[in-house]
């Protein structure tokens, strides 16, 4: 498939201008993964039956990946780092525990210079180039220059529930049950340089030197190409964009939780592991909702969810009939 011009620049949550596209569309993406092409060419190495079995296994993996991204709302690398032990299966809920939470850093400042006169423009430019900052210290009545460093921190995502009455949970359960360790393992040990945060997890928590899961680039390609075959999804600067990406799944999950279960900011923060801004006020920053609070909200709003899901499927079916 040719390169999509709409993916030339990186897209994030701010680029999403639509709300939840509906459960039927999310299921379309997962189901379309079953059409991903693997081992279609004749081979002297593998028989037709072997190629069919390998193709089916990869297509199911792709479907389950789309389901996991949709249901957990995790970043694509966080989902790929998921292991069997991160999930507890109960009758009504899948409980997700100790899932990696990336992009958390410890920031440190080391004092390297002080002066009583303001730094010149040239000094400020040079400081920025060296990842240094100048600050005015009122109590000391002088300027201080700091060297700023940021190191990734190991943080687990707070436990959260996934209701088993939601679509695609059977796919996730099937993936969990058939997994030995990683949900989405790679047959090859990754040698590509990973981000500092992922490298820290690999070394300190998993005890591996090479990436044992499929690459985030490959995972992105899987869901993007499957979704491209379905149609348009979001509008970016008034341009229709074809195909989805990992942050799109996070946004869709957040929009769905707000719509179906009436999750407020505190519920969403608890589910995704988001941190309240300092401007939120003491009460909001220190009042936390746990897994029981999330579970109770979902159970209380289950009928609302069922009505919303029914409308989603009916609208998509009617849309297809009008084509």
Name the DSSP letter for residue 144.
E
Average pLDDT on 52-61 reads 95
Q: How confident is the model at residue 209 (pLDDT cuts 50, 70, 90)?
A: confident
Grouping H, G, I as helix, E, B as strand and the rest as coil, residue 160 is strand
Average pLDDT on 230-253 reads 71
- The answer on pLDDT for 145 being more than 80 is yes
pLDDT of res. 276: 64
Grouping H, G, I as helix, E, B as strand and the rest as coil, residue 287 is coil
Average pLDDT on 301-323 reads 87
From CA 73, how far away is CA 301, in angstroms rounded?
Answer: 19
pLDDT of res. 278: 55
Are 221 and 76 a contacting pair, CB within 8 Å?
no
Q: How confident is the model at residue 183 (pLDDT cuts 50, 70, 90)?
A: very high
Pick the CATH number of 11-102+161-322 from 1.10.287, 1.10.3470, 1.10.443, 3.30.43: 1.10.443
pLDDT digits 0-9 by tens, 99-130: 999 877 667 778 888 988 899 999 888 888 88
CA distances from 107 to 19, 102, 149, 188, 310 (A): 34, 15, 6, 35, 47
As a whole-number percent, the residues of the chain with pLDDT over 70 amount to 85
From CA 73, how far away is CA 89, in angstroms rounded?
Answer: 18
3-class SS shares of the chain: helix, strand, coil, % to 5: 50, 20, 30
For residue 148, what are the contacts with CB-CB under 8 A and spacing of at least 6? 107, 108, 109, 131, 132, 133
Kindly write down the DSSP assignment for every residue of 181-215, as one continuous string: SBSSEEEEEE-SPPPHHHHHHIIIII--SSEEE--
Separation of CA 208 from chain center: 22
- The answer on pLDDT for 237 being more than 70 is no
- Residue predicted with more confidence, 233 or 121: 121
- The answer on pLDDT for 9 being more than 80 is no
pLDDT of res. 18: 56
- Residue predicted with more confidence, 282 or 113: 113
- The answer on pLDDT for 11 being more than 60 is no
Q: In 36-157, which ranges are continuous DSSP H helix?
A: 48-72, 76-80, 121-129
HEC secondary structure over 86-138: HEEECCCEEEECCCECCCCEEEEEEEEEEECCCCCHHHHHHHHHCCEEEEEEC
Burial 69-95 (b: 16+ CB within 10 A, else e): bbbbbbbbbbbbbbbeebbeeeeebbe
pLDDT of res. 236: 54
pLDDT of res. 190: 60
- The answer on pLDDT for 210 being more than 60 is yes
Residues forming CATH 1.10.443 domain(s) in the chain: 11-102+161-322
- The answer on pLDDT for 193 being more than 70 is yes
CB atoms within 10 A of CB 295: 16
- Ranking 11-20, 21-30, 269-278 by mean pLDDT, the lowest is 11-20
- Residue predicted with more confidence, 234 or 311: 311
Paired with 111 in beta bridges are 146
Paired with 115 in beta bridges are 143
């Amino acid at each position: 498939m040719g390169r999509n011009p709409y993916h030339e620049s990186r897209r994030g949550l701010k680029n999403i201008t639509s709300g939840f596209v509906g459960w039927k569309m999310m299921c379309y993406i997962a189901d379309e993964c079953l059409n991903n092409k693997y081992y279609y060419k004749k081979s002297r190495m593998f028989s037709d039956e072997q190629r069919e079995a390998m193709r089916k296994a990869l297509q199911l993996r792709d479907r389950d990946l789309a389901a996991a991204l949709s249901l957990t709302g995790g970043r694509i690398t966080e989902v790929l780092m998921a292991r069997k032990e991160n999930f507890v299966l109960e009758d009504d809920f899948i409980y997700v525990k100790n899932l990696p939470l990336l992009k958390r850093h410890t920031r440190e400042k080391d004092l390297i210079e002080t002066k009583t006169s303001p730094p010149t423009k040239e000094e400020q430019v040079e400081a920025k180039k060296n990842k240094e900052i100048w600050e005015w210290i009122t109590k000391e009545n002088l300027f201080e220059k700091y060297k700023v460093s940021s190191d990734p921190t190991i943080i687990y995502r707070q436990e959260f529930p996934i209701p088993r009455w939601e679509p695609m949970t059977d796919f996730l359960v099937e993936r969990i049950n058939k997994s030995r360790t990683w949900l989405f393992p790679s047959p090859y040990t990754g040698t590509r340089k990973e981000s500092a945060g992922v490298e820290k997890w690999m070394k300190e928590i998993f005890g591996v030197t090479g990436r044992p899961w499929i690459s985030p680039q490959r995972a992105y390609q899987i869901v993007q190409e499957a979704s491209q075959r379905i149609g348009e999804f979001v509008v970016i600067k008034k341009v229709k964009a074809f195909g989805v990406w990992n942050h799109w799944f996070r946004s869709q999950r957040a929009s769905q939780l707000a719509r179906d279960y009436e999750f407020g900011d505190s519920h969403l923060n608890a589910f995704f592991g988001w941190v309240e801004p300092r401007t939120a006020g003491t009460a909001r920053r220190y009042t936390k909702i746990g897994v029981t609070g999330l579970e109770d909200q979902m159970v209380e709003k289950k009928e609302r969810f069922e009505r919303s899901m029914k409308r989603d499927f009916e609208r998509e079916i009617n849309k297809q009939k009008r084509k």
